[in-house]
Structure 1
Amino acid sequence: MEPKNDLLSRRQWLGKLTVPAMAVTAAALPATALAAPHQKNNDNLRGARIFNVRDHGAKGDGKTPDTKAIQAAIDLCNKENGGTVLIPAGDFVCGTIELRSNVTLHVSVQGRLLGSTRREDYSAGKGVPPGNGNIVFIYAVNAENITIEGRGTIDGSGQAFYNGKGDNTGPGQRGVGGNFDRPHLIVFYQCTNFLVQDVLLTRSAYHCFRILKCKQIQLHGIRIYNRVNKNNDGFHFNDSQYVHISNCDIQCQDDACALFGSNQFVTITNCSFSTRWSIFRFGSGEAQNIVVNNCLIYDTYGCPVKISSGKARIENLSFSNIIMRNVTGPIGIAFTNTSNRNNATDNANDTTSFVRNISFNGIRATVVEKPVNHPDIAFGVNVFDGELNSCITLNGVGNAFLENISFTDVHVTYAGGGTKEQALKRDVPQVAAEYFGVWATQPFGPPAYGLYARNVKNLTLHNVRFEYEKADARPAVIFDNVHDASVTGLSAKGSVDAELIRIINSKDILIAATRVLTNAAAFLQVEGEACEGIVVNGGDLRKALKPLVFERGAGKNAVVMG
């Protein structure tokens, strides 16, 4: 159906004049000016017109399928060199829609694009690769200059597609038997220069917003509420560059801001996040030059910052001014330079892989004892054994080292409750799985309550404070095969059943200005024949019953007390 033109036609224009005035005007104007006065104005507005979907036959009654009408408006807008496709007030039910270059989709404040509840109304996006499914509600491929804006709603009706099954892409699952036959809310693939702002994105049947191999991305003021199905991600990036996210509010069921593959030049600021699983999740690839600051994270039980990687080139990540409230496993970084993250038996010396130059500054966190189900997620979520009594985990595996990791002005309060049995564990699995995957094979979880670090080079802790709410029998900090570390201004609660700091087969460690906040069996326990170059310089160690303990072949000349 052809659209109604917003401009006055010649007849409408002339009809608004009085007869004498019309006669005078007609006599005064040349014949060429009277030929088609609106055509020239149309040309002037080419690329800036408004295409109301109702003018193309859309009903917006919440029942009639409006897919064809909306697609017709988008196609004409694109053909006319772009403009704005207007979704006015109403509920516009539709299936798969393709956005095109130079089109702004404006969803009015009382307007709602409502996903059909019928699977047959959806299709795979033309040109969208099949990884993690490619059935989709709204998509764009190889497009540029796209905008989605307005204070209205894009609602995927995702609860209609719930069958109790996820996509089974978690650790070790490899997607076998997974549910991929359901629509993502939005997928952009190989698009350039797009803006999404102000809209509410909600109730997707699968991921909310997948951004694949795109460049020049602006995401601002978006609200995501996505908790009706499994794998309800928020933002999900793969191999994208020049990404800028600000002032967004994300509440979802799965990863809130997944950054898989080679995402580079990314800034995320002034956002709030909550999810059952993780917030910032990184996989393999080249994740580089990424800054996260001024963010709030709450009620998140699968690790707010999670890097679980093999064969990766991850560097230059900065996390600053972040508050974490009610989380588990606040930070988990695991790395192996083998092809299999869950098996360190492949000892190929691959020096091209690395995880390095990661900083955490101005972090305040409260860590709960175990995950808690969100009351607005209708289906229960299993709790893994390794999620209990969690800590910050830095886990290099095999011959792989994490490099240049720093924590500055970090204050974490843990629930506590760790046991002596946990503290005695030393056979930490040689796997680079997700943080709870590492501890799941341990009968008692992590052996430290604050920070566990293995295979790390150049580790810095400055002005860090670890404490607990109820008694915890584990050390606050464990270093295992750590080289070149500086610990200055550490304040931590201790236990009468354990040392405050345990150092295993590590070298070149400086510990200065430490405060032992509560009674501890010992300040420092050194273990292993490979320990050397450990210097302790000052601090308040009065509440430690012993200053030093040597175990498991550690020599007394490994430590110098200043």
Structure 2
Amino acid sequence: MKRNDSLQPNIFSRRQWLGNLALPAIAVAGAALPSLAVQAAPASTSQSDNNLQGARIFNVRDFGAKGDGKTLNTKAIQAAIDACYNELGGTVLIPAGDFICGTIELKSNVTLHLLSQGRLLGSTRREDYAAGKGVPPGNGNIVYVYAVNAENITIEGRGTIDGNGQAFYNGKGDNTGPGQHGAGGNFDRPHLIIFYQCTNFLVRDVFLTRSAYHCFRILHCKQVQLQGIRIYNRVNKNNDGFHFNDSQYVHITNCDIQCQDDACALFGSNQFVTVTNCSFSTRWSIFRFGSGEAQNIVVSNCLIYETYGCPIKISSGKARVENLSFSNIIMRNVTGPIGIGFTGKSNTDSESSEPLSYVRNISFNGIRATVVEKPVNHPDIPFDVKVFDGEISSCITLNGVGKAFLENISFTDVHVTYAGGGTKEQALKREVPQVAAEYFSVWGTTPFGAPAYGMYARNVKNLTLHNVRFEYENPDARPAVIFDNVQDASITGLSARGSAGSELIRLINSKDVLIAAARVLSSAAAFLQVEGEGSDGIVVNGGDLRKALKPLVLEKGAGQHSVEMG
């Protein structure tokens, strides 16, 4: 019977089919690219072109790129990106090979896919890099891969973006720490990736490594998804991991970050951020909050290890920080481990014409930490990092300065084991400096270290400690907890090791404090020492105080009326 051709699909040879779809790399490599709704192309070439708009694969080799580890491929790779953009989007493919290039710009609707053996390798020549067009110069704008005012960008695949950043090491950092103001800093080196004013982008599964400066700067962006990214960034100074400024609706999941500087810096007004199921290690800090409006941020189910300079660090002047939650976090071998410093205009400065600042509504739940005596060098960071006084014999620090108060801070189910070794000299240090500068002094701890081994809190309203346990591995002469000008606080279920020469808890000019069901785990000179004429409304209710030589000591003008022992 004669076949009715009008009912049959168009049939092409294998060469015709692959040529029309422009998918040779997928057929050969079996790459896990996004699924494409591919059908046999009709006879009309123009109709075929329309059907494939936004779905084509642009292999950089087809534009002249050579993955030989020698050829500079900047123009070829940029040509592939531009062609993809001009075709209303698609996928730019980095196949197996080492593709050396300088600065390249990603554009809207472009997916950059790196096959598992594909590597973008940064040139070692400064002249091959440029400032990102439209990227502001703050903290430098020389960059390897960037996008500006773009949307719907994806970077994906099991391949690598390698900045070759050791070629730009000159022994100098950017000198942007407190009081340095960048003077004499090294800014003339490329960041690995910068996205500026971009919307709805996704980065997943890639390996980002060896940046000459920050690894991934995300500036003024919205709808950000970062999934399964590995960062190993330890060849230069200021080797951050993620660095956010003024971004919203950011979600970070299943990432592994090992870097030299801030692992997840959130400067400025970052809002609606979640970080979950990630692991981090760095010399300086993990979650670093600066000024601005850091609000509605949740960090959960994370591992932090070999991290110094304080893993969770909130240092604010003129800021509006609120609604931050940290839960189910393991910290192993850290210093800090949590620090909040606040110097801004508070509610008590209502006569000021400036907008009021605040740091409030912050919770820490399900924290397990081991704190070392002082930082040690990471063996894979090729230069020594100075240890500052405030990092030695450190503790959890909540430090409001002057008239500024931290508000509504809670610690629930927190267990911290400290190295110990604190001295009587540290314990007797009453005048803690009125500064809240991080890094170098770490929120006003003395040159001898923190005056408490577990927690030091100053100028806090509504502070809650519930089911908190502080221990040390070596004898420590300091109190476990010091409250200075703390108002409206509760300590319930505190268990802490004591010192034969010091009190377990010291309250200085603090009011309306409830202490219930406390346990003294080892010998202490006293359970509670209350100091100052401003102390009042302190209630102790129950607990196991047998290992304290005295239940209560009153000093420096504190009266018997200020304490009710139950």
TM-score of the aligned structures, taking structure 1 as reference length:
0.92
Deviation at 1:41, TM superposition (A): 2.0
Is 2:148 aligned against 1:144? no
Q: How does 1:219-368 map to 2 (within 5 A)?
A: 219-338=226-345, 352-368=356-372
Q: Are 1:415 and 2:419 an aligned pair?
A: yes
Q: Alpha-carbon deviation of 1:442? A: 2.1
Aligned partners of 1:7 and 1:38 also within 8 Å: no
Are residues 90 and 438 of structure 1, via their aligned partners in 2, closer, same or farther at CA, if it must alter by over 3 Å? closer
Tell me: CA distance 1:227–1:53, structure 2 relative to 1, closer, same or farther (3 Å): same
Which amino acid in 1 is paired with 2:433? Answer: P
**Distance between the aligned counterparts of 2:274 and 2:118, measured in 1?**
30
How far is the alpha carbon of 1:171 from its aligned partner? 1.4
Distance 1:487 1:435 in 2: 29
Q: 2:97 aligns with which of 85, 90, 109?
A: 90
C-alpha deviation, 1:220, in angstroms: 0.2
- Equivalent residue in structure 2 for 1:121, among 128, 143, 150: 128
User: Match of 1:538, as an amino acid?
Assistant: G
Which of residues 447, 453, 472 in structure 2 aligns to 1:449?
A: 453
Secondary structure of residue in 2 paired with 1:64? strand
CA 1:162–1:538: 2 relative to 1, 3 Å: same
Cα RMSD (Å) of the superposition? 2.1
Contact (CA 8 Å) 1:329, 1:435: kept in 2 or not? no
1:389 match: 393
Aligned to 2:174: 167
Residue of structure 1 in register with 2:441 after alignment: 437
Amino acid at match of 1:303: C
Give CA-to-partner distance per residue, 1:262-300, whole Å, 9 cap, x none. 000000000000000000000000000000000000000
What is the CA-CA distance between 1:42 and the residue it aligns to?
A: 2.3
Q: SS in structure 2 opposite 1:74?
A: helix
Deviation at 1:432, TM superposition (A): 1.4
> Pairwise mapping of residues 65-80 of structure 1 onto structure 2 (< 5 A)?
65-80=72-87
Q: Which residue of 1 aligns with 2:5?
A: none
**1:511 corresponds to:** 515
Say whether the 8 Å CA contact 2:437–2:444 is kept in structure 1: no
**Other-structure match for 1:475:** 479
Q: Which of 376, 380, 383 is the matching residue for 1:379?
A: 383
Do 2:341 and 2:443's aligned partners in 1 also have CA atoms closer than 8 Å? no
| Equivalent residue, structure 1, for 2:34 | none
Summarize the Cα distance change of 1:7–1:506 in structure 2 as closer, same or farther, 3 Å threshold.
Answer: farther
Q: Matched residues in 2 for 1:300 and 1:349: separation?
A: 40
State the alpha-carbon separation in 2 of the partners of residues 444 and 151 from structure 1.
48
Which residue does the alignment assign to 2:525?
521
How many Å apart are 1:68 and its aligned residue?
Answer: 0.3
Change (3 A) 1:45 1:366: same
Q: CA deviation at 1:35?
A: 11
How far residue 434 of structure 1 moved from its aligned partner, in angstroms, is 1.0
Amino acid at match of 1:222: I
Q: How far 1:155 sits from its partner (Å)? A: 0.0
1:361: Cα distance to partner? 0.1
Q: CA offsets, 1:12-59, max 9 Å, x none?
A: 99xxxxxxxxxxxxxxxxxxxx99644322221110100000000001
Inter-partner Cα distance in structure 2 for 1:320 and 1:349:
37
Using the TM superposition, give the Cα deviation of residue 7 of structure 1 relative to its aligned residue in structure 2, in angstroms: 8.8
Cα distance between partner residues in 2 of 1:58 and 1:12: 20
Is the 1:520–1:543 contact (alpha carbons within 8 Å) kept by the matching residues of 2? yes
Q: Within 1, Cα distance between the matches of 2:217 and 2:234?
A: 16
Is the CA contact 1:355–1:402 (under 8 Å) kept in the aligned structure 2? Answer: yes
Partner Cα distance (2:558, 2:412) in 1 = 30
- Asked if the contact 2:399–2:444 (Cα under 8 Å) also holds between the matched residues in 1, the reply is no
Q: Which residue of 2 aligns with 1:39?
A: 46
CA distance in 2, matches of 1:288, 1:160: 38
- Alignment partner, residue 206 of structure 1: 213
Kindly indicate whether the alpha-carbon contact (under 8 Å) linking 1:86 and 1:106 is maintained by their aligned counterparts in 2: yes
- Local SS of the residue matching 2:393: coil
Corresponding residue for 2:197? 190
Amino acid paired to 2:238: N
What stretches of structure 1 move > 4 A for 4+ residues in a row? 6-13, 347-351, 438-441
Give me the whole-angstrom Cα distance separating, in 2, the residues matched to 1:400 and 1:303. Answer: 22
| One-letter identity of the residue aligned with 1:408 | T
Distance 1:252 1:313, change over 3 A: same
Where structure 1 has 5 or more consecutive residues not aligned to the other structure, the ranges are 1-5, 14-33, 340-344
Contact 2:293 2:320 in 1 (8 A): yes
Report the CA distance shift for 1:349/1:326 in structure 2 as closer, same or farther (over 3 A): farther
Q: Is the 2:336–2:371 contact (alpha carbons within 8 Å) kept by the matching residues of 1?
A: yes
* Corresponding residue SS for 2:167: helix
* Structure 2 residue ranges without an equivalent (≥5): 1-12, 21-40
Q: Percent identity?
A: 82
TM-score (norm 2): 0.92
Contact 2:434 2:444 in 1 (8 A): no
Cα deviation code 1:361-384 (max 9, x no counterpart): 000000000001000000110000
- Conserved? CA contact 2:286–2:310, under 8 Å: yes
Cα distance in 1 for residues equivalent to 2:102 and 2:318: 39
